[in-house]
Structure 1
Amino acid sequence: MCENNGSSFPCSTHRGLVISDTWPGYNLDVFSLPNHYCEDLECVYIPHGVIVDRIERLASDIMKDIGDNHITVLCVLKGGYKFCADLVEHIKNLSRNSERFISMRVDFIRLRSYCNDKSTEDLQIIGEEELSKLTGKNVLIVEDVIGTGRTMKALLSHMENYNPKMVKVASLLVKRSAGNNTYSPDYTGFEIPNIFVVGYALDYNEHFRDLHHICVISDKGKEKYKV
């Protein structure tokens, strides 16, 4: 999966686990998948076990950076809920067994910027009243996917109105694209090509959230579930 190292395996950098443009994913036949989705997927792109192990390392990095603080975790729904839940649980487990301690509360917002598989210019913030609670707080935003970066930059700009003390961003996935060269989150799980993936709570028009693995949706799946 790693770019420019002659290997099919992922490499770890400050950009997270980098998956190359040529990574074909895993054959669907070697994983357990819901039968009703099998014809709608091309491959298993990131297996569930790899996701969980990577999140555990992100939790460790966050503990090292911002331990001994009270943190407000701002989960971006809906796609971020699974990542957020697992990340918070790992941080709690590390905190229980560490001399450092992170006290956390979790709030939720929703951002809307996609139509089918395309990002749009419009950003809608649902649950904006939660942002008013962030004044003077240390905030960890937990997002599922950062694509062009426009949505996250717009959210961060909007949050400045509420004067948080500190803001960090953790994203499970960051997509490489020509338009995303000016923003990188503080914590990245995986850097992937600019492809549309589903599973592990990531959806396509509210479908596929129940997949344990991150998968590539097929053209047939896009057509079947488009709105």
Structure 2
Amino acid sequence: MANGSLENDIEHVLIPTDELNGRLDEIAREIDRDYADKDVLVVGVLKGAIMVVADLTRRMTIPVTMDWMAVSSYGSGTKSSGVVRILKDLDSDLHGRHVLVIEDIIDSGLTLSWLVANLRSRGPESVEIATMLRKPDAAKVDVDVRYVGFDIPNEFVVGYGLDYDEKYRNLPYVGTLKAEVYSGR
């Protein structure tokens, strides 16, 4: 699919590229300050967080190591199975480390809450969360998030790592899709 056709599917740009970049600069400075002289392991949550992890860590000046996890709370379709599965686990030992989980978006918080509890059971010094987007109106559980890029309305968004049917992740901004894209018209 050509980039032009992706652009044509966007109803509204919610967060333009320059705003994303500005907020990434601010969060990187906060992380550099808060984690100075600490052994930091950045844990990216696949697939959506790839863009945020890449852009955020390039702005950070402290030494970090990175690892990746993939988890799923969905069975078939869009209904949650109620069971979180680890699809790709960490390669790193967390014992005594300062873990910074980086997410693209937090909706209900259910999967992230499970993930944080799982990581804390592995003996890290600390576990904190950074996310580019958070939907406060969609929250079903309270998850303590240390770094938030933007609070957004409870609407379906794509771009900057977020997808619909595995497309749109490569858009450099966050936007909403036209209804005909997902309604089959």
Q: TM-score, normalised by structure 1?
A: 0.73
**Distance change (3 Å), C-alpha of 1:200 and 1:139:** same
% identity of equivalent residues: 31
Preserved contact between residue 103 and residue 131 of structure 2 (Cα < 8 Å): yes
Q: Secondary structure at the match of 2:118?
A: helix
Q: Which residue is equivalent to 1:55?
A: 24
Residues 116 and 205 in structure 1, CA contact (< 8 A), matched pair in contact too = no
User: Structure 2 vs 1, CA of residues 185 and 85 (structure 1 numbering), >3 Å: closer, same or farther?
Assistant: same
Task: Point out where structure 2 has 5 or more consecutive residues left out of the alignment.
Answer: none
Amino acid at match of 1:64: R
Determine which of 63, 69, 72 is the counterpart of 1:109.
69
CA contact (8 A) 2:161 2:170 kept: yes
User: Which sections of structure 1, spanning at least 5 residues, go unmatched?
Assistant: 1-32, 96-101
The runs of at least 4 consecutive aligned structure 1 residues that moved more than 4 Å come to 114-119
State how far apart, in whole Å, the 1-side matches of 2:76 and 2:153 are.
18
Match of 1:165 among 95, 117, 125: 125
* AA matched with 1:223: S
Shift of 1:223: 3.1
- 1:50 maps to a residue whose letter is E
Go from structure 1 to structure 2 and tell me whether the alpha carbon gap of 1:57 and 1:129 turns closer, same or farther (over 3 Å shift): closer
RMSD: 2.3
SS at match of 1:69: coil
Distance (whole Å) between structure 2 residues aligned to residue 215 and residue 117 of structure 1: 23
User: Is 2:68–2:89's contact at 8 Å kept on the other side of the alignment?
Assistant: no
Three-state SS of the structure 2 residue aligned to 1:57 is: helix
TM-score, normalised to structure 2, is: 0.89
For the pair shown, which has the larger CA radius of gyration, 1 or 2? 1
The number of residue pairs the alignment matches comes to 183
> Aligned AA for 2:136?
R
AA aligned opposite 1:81: I
Mapped contact 1:145–1:173 kept (Cα < 8 A): yes
Q: Is 1:125 aligned with 2:82? A: no
Structure 1 contact 117–204 (Cα < 8 Å) conserved: no
- Take 2:79 and 2:49, find their aligned partners in 1: how far apart are those partners? 17
What secondary structure does 1:52 align onto?
A: helix
Tell me, in whole angstroms, the C-alpha distance in 2 between the residues paired with 1:149 and 1:113: 11
| Counterpart residue identity of residue 41, structure 1 | I
